[in-house]
Homo-oligomer: A and B are copies of this chain.
Amino acid sequence: MEHAITSIGLIAACCTTISFVPQALKVIKSKNTEGISLYMYILFVSGVSMWLCYGILINDAPVIIANAITLVFASTILYYKLKYR
């Protein structure tokens, strides 16, 4: 049972982490960032950066890895939003 619960957490983490990949690719390809909220990505990138600090401080590998990957893609989206607004 415990393994099943851990698996749900890991699949959840994979989904939320990789979800930013198609959005980053779409923004890079289309250069259309009109529908994307600047405030969302400012808040989100700030939050994920703090999650990464938190992961380092509590020395938790899953938190560090998931947030480091998310930070790369969310920052890319924010960069394009600032560039093409």
The residue that A16 contacts in the complex, of B13, B22, B48, B57, with Cβ under 8 A, is B48
Inter-subunit contact A37/B58 (CB<8 Å): no
Query: Complex formed: what's the CA distance from A32 to B36 in Å?
Result: 9
Q: In this assembly, does A40 line the interface, its C-beta being within 8 Å of a C-beta of chain B?
A: yes
Inter-subunit contact B8/A57 (CB<8 Å): yes
Q: How far is the CB of A30 from chain B (nearest CB, A)?
A: 7
Interface set, chain A 31-51, CB cutoff 8 A to B? 32-37, 39-41, 43-44, 46-48, 50-51
Q: In this assembly, does A53 line the interface, its C-beta being within 8 Å of a C-beta of chain B?
A: yes
Q: With contacts A5-B58, A19-B47, A34-B35 known, what are 18 further pairs, Cβ within 8 A?
A: A5-B54, A8-B50, A8-B53, A8-B54, A11-B50, A12-B47, A12-B48, A15-B43, A15-B44, A15-B46, A15-B47, A19-B40, A22-B37, A23-B36, A23-B39, A32-B35, A33-B35, A36-B36
